[in-house]
Amino acid sequence: MFIMHRKMTVKEGFADQMVEQFNKPGIIEEQEGFIDIIAMTSKPRKGEETVIALVRWESEEKWKQWEKSDAHIAGHKAKRGQAKPDHIIDQKVTFYTVQAVKEARN
Q: What is the value of pTM for the model shown?
A: 0.87
pLDDT of residue 74: 85
Contacts of 35 (CB under 8 A, 6+ apart): 1, 56, 57, 58
Selection from 70, 63, 82 nearest residue 6 by Cα: 63
In this prediction, the residues of the chain whose per-residue pLDDT falls under 70 are: none
DSSP string, 23-79: HS--GGGGSTTEEEEEEEE---BTTEEEEEEEEEES-HHHHHHHHTSHHHHHHHHHH
What fold, for 2-97? Alpha-Beta Plaits (3.30.70)
d(CA 54, CA 57): 10
Mean pLDDT across the chain: 92
